[in-house]
Amino acid sequence: MVAHSLLTVLLVVAANAYDNRLDEIRSVEDYLNICINGTHHKKAPSPEPTDDHICTDWASMSCCEHKTMRSVQDSLLYGFNHSHCKPMSQKCINMFKRELCFYECSPHVGPWLVKTQSLRRRERSYLVPLCEEDCNKWYEACKNEETCVRDWSVEFEWSEGMNVCPADSSCELFSNVYKDASDFCHAIWDGGWKVEKAPRCMHFVAVDERSKEHNQRVARQAAEEIIRRLSGTCSACSQFSGLVFLLSLTIPLVFGIRY
């Protein structure tokens, strides 16, 4: 069984290694001028029209098109049903929409991109440092909601294009499924977020010019550490940036899809 699993991993690596553009990144600016390779993402960030929708704060420099922003606003993207147990409160839905705006539109996730395989994307963000403050607000808005699975990326079943609870699952409060806010933010999207204390972390709850500049600085710092590792000149880089370096540049791992 172990030998079979190892062979499977090696075959996946061999099949995907030839087509990993992340291997070609060699500069800080490359990391800051790249978007997720996915269905709804652009190849590179650029401005979008600004109007009244929940993702409008990303319009000045965005990895998603205006129609994607509108789809997030109207809960049409992916056909995902947040109310898979009981009707979800609007305050919680709005938090999920803001988080999805970041995932689809933020131009600041380059250092945390890893290879994946799904019908909707060839890459995903992994272990993006989320500010503890934002995580706590997200969890507080949603802790009294219900869900039937812990990892929304991989544990749902799908019927007629919509996520449904597995037959052997039961609905429970978020506060019973996740032990605390940090556990919730990390687990719900298959490790997409890693909660960190300020200042080296990302904001998505309240996005203004100041927070976008902050996010860009955090992304630049992470990119600089990865480039120093590539050149062998960084002996004091954070353990986290080393993990991202290994994930994105050495092993094209396969993770669950976001939706």
Domain ranges (residues) in the chain = 35-236
159: β partners: 162
Q: pLDDT confidence of 105, banded at 50, 70, 90?
A: very high
Task: Reduce the DSSP state of residue 173 to 3 states and report it.
Answer: strand
Bridge-based pairing of strands 172-173 and 146-147 is antiparallel
How far the first Cα of the chain sits from its last, in Å, is 29
Collect all residues with Cβ–Cβ distance below 8 Å to 157 and sequence separation of at least 6: 163, 164, 165, 166, 167
Q: pLDDT at residue 13 above 60?
A: no
Rounded distance, CA 69 to CA 75, Å? 10
**Model pLDDT, residue 228:** 93
For the beta carbon of residue 53, count every other beta carbon within 10 angstroms.
17
Cis peptide preceding 47, ω within 30 of 0 = no
Q: Tell which residue, 170, 148, 136, 126, has the closest CA to residue 258.
A: 126
Q: pLDDT at residue 216 above 60?
A: yes
Q: pLDDT confidence of 6, banded at 50, 70, 90?
A: very low
Rounded distance, CA 142 to CA 21, Å? 37
Q: Which two tokens stand for residue 212?
A: 């976008």
Higher pLDDT, 224 or 68: 224
Q: pLDDT confidence of 145, banded at 50, 70, 90?
A: very high
pTM above 0.85, yes or no: no
For 185, how many CA atoms within 13 A lie in the half-sphere containing its CB?
Answer: 28
What integer best gives the mean pLDDT of the chain?
84
**Model pLDDT, residue 34:** 93
pLDDT digit string (tens) for 159-208?
A: 988 999 999 999 999 999 999 999 999 999 999 999 999 999 999 998 78
Name the residue type at position 241. Answer: S
Collect all residues with Cβ–Cβ distance below 8 Å to 38 and sequence separation of at least 6: 120, 121, 122, 123, 124
Count helices and strands (H / E) in the chain. Answer: 9, 10
The one-character DSSP state at 87 is P
Q: pLDDT confidence of 235, banded at 50, 70, 90?
A: low
**Model pLDDT, residue 122:** 84
* Residue with token string 């789809």: 71
Higher pLDDT, 210 or 207: 210
Task: Reduce the DSSP state of residue 107 to 3 states and report it.
Answer: coil
94: β partners: none
**Model pLDDT, residue 254:** 42
